[in-house]
A and B are shown apart, each in its own frame.
Chain A
Amino acid sequence: MSLWQIILAGILAIVVAPFIGGLLRGVDRKLTARMQGRRGPPIQQPFYDVLKLFSKQTITTNRTQLVLAYSYLLLIITTLVLFALRQDLLMVILVLGVGSVCLVLGSLSVRSPYSQFGGHRELLQLLAYEPILILVAVAIYLKTGAFFIGNIFDQGEPLLPSLWVAYPALLITLIIVMRKSPFDISASEHAHQEIVRGVFTEYSGPYLGIIELAHWYEIVLLLSIISLLWVPGIWPGVLLALFSFFVVLIIDNITARLTWSWMLRVSWFGGLGLVILNLVGLHFFGG
């Protein structure tokens, strides 16, 4: 990569990504409202919300919590930058894990029953989706011969035809990361109108804004990983990602929250099972 490409990638990841993430959240709220027969807020509403949060006074319970909110944001941004620089996909996923861990620790650092519950459940969510993401990275490797994201772009043919079995597992991952029903066990989304929101209970004002911002980056990262399944060409991948996003919204609106053990069962025996099946297929047929 030339210097200009690196700078461009950096700008894309750091500056453009939150706008995409925020817009997606706006679309999410609008579409969800329409599905529920409501009018819904304007698409730019998430930006208004976050700006308002940033203008509020800092209220907190301890310092650790504040530090960890920053760590969460910075680490998630790092994953996206690494992704844009076309680095090792497995490394990106592992660093994403570090970021999520910061969010969990932030909520566990307060002796508040709701925050503690949320933190522990967020851990279980991590337990449910991280193995799937790692195995999908391995599946991509088996097809392209390297873990570098750059190689996927150089590969020349789309991956989805050989990875379609693993695709539903990626959808499960997306639902868990976006905390959508039926896997919204650590905190619920806006559509469910909860005041005490698990892992976020003890965050407020600017720091809640930071966490929301980090979440935007997180969504963009997950969708970028999904879009890898259809490169070269930017648009097919983007369309695939948007389609996946839309499917998640529909699933969110037609299901109810389930228990953590059910989530583990679905993601391990269902999701992980599918990816393993895909891997075995790749080994036998080479694609």
Chain B
Amino acid sequence: MEGTILAIAIIFPFLAGFICLGLKNSKARATLIIFTSIVLIALSILFLRHGAFHYTPPAEWDMAILVLDYVLLAYFLYIGIADFISIGINIRNVFTIGLVLLQGIFLALFEFSWAPHVPLEVEPIFFVDQLSIIMCLIICIIGSLICIYGIKYMADHEKHLGLGKTKQPRFFFYMIMFLGAMNGLVFANSLLWLCFFWEVTTLCCYALIRHDETPEAIGSGIRALWMNLIGGAGFVFAIIYAFNRLGTLSVAEIIEAHGVPLLLLPLAFLCLAAFTKSAQMPFQSWLLGAMVAPTPVSALLHSSTMVNAGVYLVLRIAPAFAGTALSTGVAMFGGFTFMTTAILAISQTEAKRVLAYSTIGNLGLIILCAGVNTPLAITAGITLLVFHAISKGLLFLCVGIIDHNIWSKNIEDMQGLVSKLPLITTITIAGIISMLLAPFGVLISKWAAIEATGALASYWSPVILALLVVGSAATTVFWIKWLGRFLSQVPSAARAKMESFSSIYHIPVLLLIVSAIGLSIFIAPFYERIICPAVGGCYTPVVTAQNWFFWGAIGCFAAWPIFAVLALALVVPSLVIRMRPEQVRPAYMCGENVEAETAEFRSVGDERTPLETGGFYLSGALGEHNLNRWFNPTALIILIILFALVVVA
């Protein structure tokens, strides 16, 4: 039974992906995608009901993984060389080739010469616990919804591009295979297997970013590849050092070896791998470049699942470095990313880039929580992981739908959209609110993170806190600015007309927004059933859910009373307040208005002048050009200090 569900979770998506590759008929492909999605969703719930277990597949699989790993590296090498041949010497192909060789040579040295057996066997190979089950739920449920959404999105996308020959079989091959690779990644206990699935996600990421094959897409794809290969190299070094010092490659045993000082270096390498996967500063540019990919890719890989693999790894190994200098360094690094990305997001005009920065920032916040490393902080981190995955996946899907209605992702073009596309705009607004306002899940996690960092007995805690609170305030600014664009309308008493409902677009987003709001309202039972057992794996849970409040060790968030007030404050007035047409007046424009419902006024010489309004972007003071000069080197320095601390310790 246990072997079977693991096999279905990992191998079935690979098989379904390969079948997709051969299916030219779009109806058949859609059926297969929906079938796979239903199987995966059912399976993830089965995992939840089954609970923790571990499992080791027959030994032949070890050999298969070993071979496949080198096949994958050879393919990466081929990509680097092919790029070298097509554009000549360039930083991107030099890095790709160099990093693949570095990784391949060291991995081969380790596996064939230093290790006692070929292949090296680890017991158990798979370790399923509550934390990995949470990740599996995110991957299977949110991932499946995104794939279903992708059916219509890709059809519209190709129609808009005027593509003669469809590329969808390949697209869905990677999308669905990716789900299997992610399941493998979160359940793997052997570092070798983990490393293999890690590289498969890198491959999917590369292939999906370059899917449109424009020069920009190809460039972004290779950048994502080589930056993730830095992480891959980190992984290989982590494997070598961990085996050298502990004689094991089992993640569970590494976590239990807490307190072995020599262990810090492999842990730091694993953190490096995680930082690149989660696109933390200074590696953020690959995720921003990845925004050229079709929106379902951004939703699936770059917000709700693949980038979460990095923070999942840090959360997983956090117990092993609790109380060390590495832990403080990790917290500082995450906090720095959180603050800087929130400030950089203020100057962005493109919706997907704002979402990308916000994603990097929230992952930074989770890394900060893992670095603070107290039970309250870990609770905050895991809660944020779940709520962020739901809300951010949702927001990407919303931006995709808006894009396919107005054919623009620019926030300025979304001005007054609430009266043009009321349904999707309302869902987007609700999604943004679930990312930023109390008492939604994301903010409760932030609250817990602040209290946990405040309680951290370290001289660095005030600095980490400052990064956290400034980042948090900047987050409010960029979200609210965007909301303001949606709401900004020309005075009118007319009621907005609903746009047409498309089930394959709107049902996934509706399901996601309902779960974001529902889980926030019912956070107490959700915490008790799902989050608490995950924290309880390595820590003593401190949060209780008495009275359905969220009680931390040192504070209490009365979530549902505030929800009641919020409903009273937002929903009731919007139902009760009526407005008569004669009460409507035009806005003040410091000139005579032309007519009530046009945005024009009479200026010099009685000429009709159209009103133009826009958001603040402060791109002079807070633009990427200005700030990245400081942010990137600082992030690099923090990273170097982190390693220096570990080596000294």
Contact = CB atoms under 8 A, between A and B. Distances in A.
A37 to B, nearest CB: 32
Contacts of B565: 74-75, 78
Interface string B414-447: 0110100000000000000000011100010011
A67 B573 contact: yes
A165 B443 CA distance: 29
A227 to B, nearest CB: 20
A141 B454 contact: yes
A242 interface: no
B260 interface: no
A185 interface: no
B247 interface: no
Interface in A38-72: 57-64, 66-67, 70-71
Given A60-B579, A130-B469, A87 B484 contact: no
Contact size range, B: 35 or more
A64 B487 contact: yes
Contacts of B265: none
A interface: dominant SS? helix
10 tightest A-B contacts by CB? A108-B484, A112-B587, A147-B555, A279-B462, A61-B491, A74-B569, A138-B454, A131-B469, A71-B569, A109-B487
B480 A101 contact: yes
Which of A70, A91, A142 is packed against the most chain B CB atoms within 10 Å?
A: A91
B488 A109 contact: yes
Interface in A260-287: 261, 268, 272, 276, 279-280, 283-284
A127 B469 contact: no
B579 A66 contact: yes
Interface string B562-606: 100110111001100101000111111110000000010000000
Contacts of A114: 588, 590
Nearest to B478: A123
Given A59-B583, A146-B555, A134 B469 contact: yes
B485 to A, nearest CB: 8
Contacts of B443: 94
A126 B465 contact: no
Contacts of B570: 67, 71
Contacts of B587: 61, 110-112, 115, 202
Chain A interface extent, by class = 35 or more
A116 B455 CA distance: 40
A57 B580 CA distance: 12
A60 B585 contact: yes
A237 to B, nearest CB: 21
Interface string A108-147: 1111111110011001101100110011001001100111
A147 B492 CA distance: 46
Interface of A: 57-64, 66-67, 70-71, 74-75, 78, 82, 87-88, 90-91, 94-95, 97-98, 101-102, 104-105, 108-116, 119-120, 123-124, 126-127, 130-131, 134-135, 138, 141-142, 145-148, 196, 201-202, 261, 268, 272, 276, 279-280, 283-284
Interface stretch (B17-25, B179-187, B317-325, B609-617): B609-617
Given A138-B465, A141-B554, A284-B459, A108 B438 contact: no
Contacts of A201: 588
B476 A101 contact: yes
B574 A63 contact: yes
B484 A272 contact: no
B380 to A, nearest CB: 13
